[in-house]
Amino acid sequence: MRILVISDIHANLAALEAVLADAKGDWDKIWFLGDLIGYGPDPNECVALLREHDPIALSGNHDWAILGKLDIQHFNQDARNAVLWAQRVINADSRAYLDSLPPISAEGPFTLAHASPRHPVWEYILDRGTAAVNFAFFESPFCLVGHTHVPILYAEASAEHVEVHPPVYNAPLILSDDLRCIINPGSVGQPRDSDPRASYALLNLVNMTWEYRRVEYDVARTQMRMRRHGLSERLVARLEYGW
């Protein structure tokens, strides 16, 4: 079984289409780690396209915000406005689908969480210390997370030491049961690691390999649609820089 692991699509249809085209034929099932909408211009289209592939899917903090399950007062102004816009345009079908998704689940030796196993909707695992604490909050060998929009792998080398491994692309990495890991595939629709290309990963459950991938997409097409809907210029511009 080969898994296409994607996260943080954020209503960016051009990016999602590019990932699906790039990975074509290389996977049997999608695992999606949450934040299907928010920020981008195509919420309903992204929900519909993802659903066509019958994924294992989680909800993220932006999905919760749009459903009214999360207070948006802690969102910054741009993110808040994007949530309010998406609340206006989202259709009943999309809303019902998002509402059906959990923020955390388990698939064999993998725990899947949108943000972190400790706080599945909220916590940002952006450093070794936060990763280290989180290893106590899941029992499986591996945990997959999104939320930070940065591809990275944290490995629990010992109780005191967590290794940080930045991504190496197109080079399958062997996952071993005796080295517990928290892994982030990066973001499809709004990368934040200074690389504007859509980020995703391929997980092979037979060989137990993890492969990071990046693919260029038509950023201008997404930006044009964001401007048309009056979404913030700062959100439009950041797609170009991967931030």
Stretch that binds Zn ion, among 27-35, 69-77, 103-111, 218-226 (CB under 5 A): 27-35
Q: Closest distance between Zn ion and the C-beta of residue 141, in Å? A: 25
Indicate which single residue of 12, 18, 35, 183 sits in contact with Zn ion (rule: CB under 5 A): 35
Task: Work out whether 8 is an interface residue with Zn ion (CB under 5 A).
Answer: yes
Nearer to Zn ion, 62 or 180 (CB): 62
Task: Show contacts with Zn ion in window 71-130 (CB under 5 A).
Answer: none
What is d(CA 171, CA 174) in angstroms, rounded to the nearest whole number? 10
Decide whether 149 or 180 has the Cβ nearer to Zn ion: 149
If binding is defined by CB under 5 A, does position 156 make contact with Zn ion?
no
**Piece of 12-20, 33-41, 81-89, 220-228 that binds Zn ion (CB under 5 A):** 33-41
Cβ closest to Zn ion, residue 8 vs residue 156: 8
- In the bound state with Zn ion, the residue whose beta carbon lies nearer, of 63 and 156, is 63
Considering the complex, state which of residue 8 and residue 17 has its C-beta at the smaller distance from Zn ion: 8
- How far is Cα 148 from Cα 51, in angstroms, rounded to an integer? 23
Q: How far is CA 175 from CA 59, 153, 185, 204, in A?
A: 26, 11, 14, 10
Q: ∠ CA 140-133-75 to the nearest 5 degrees? A: 100
At its nearest, how many Å lie between Zn ion and the CB of residue 190? 7
Shortest CA distance to 181 belongs to which of 155, 160, 211?
A: 155
CA distance 68 to 222: 26
CB closer to Zn ion out of 204 and 232 = 232
**Least gap, CB of 42 to Zn ion (angstroms):** 15
Q: How many residues bind Zn ion (CB under 5 A)?
A: 2
**C-beta closer to Zn ion: residue 175 or 239:** 239
- Least distance (Å) between residue 47 CB and Zn ion: 15
Among 4-12, 66-74, 109-117, 176-184, the segment contacting Zn ion (CB under 5 A): 4-12
Contacts of 183 (CB under 8 A, 6+ apart): 142, 143, 144, 145, 152, 153, 154, 201, 210
211 in contact with Zn ion (CB under 5 A)? no
Q: Is 193 in the site for Zn ion (CB under 5 A)?
A: no
- Dist. CA 231–CA 38, nearest whole Å: 11
User: Candidates 7-15, 18-26, 102-110, 134-142 — which segment interacts with Zn ion by CB under 5 A?
Assistant: 7-15
Under the rule (CB under 5 A), what is the footprint of Zn ion?
8, 35
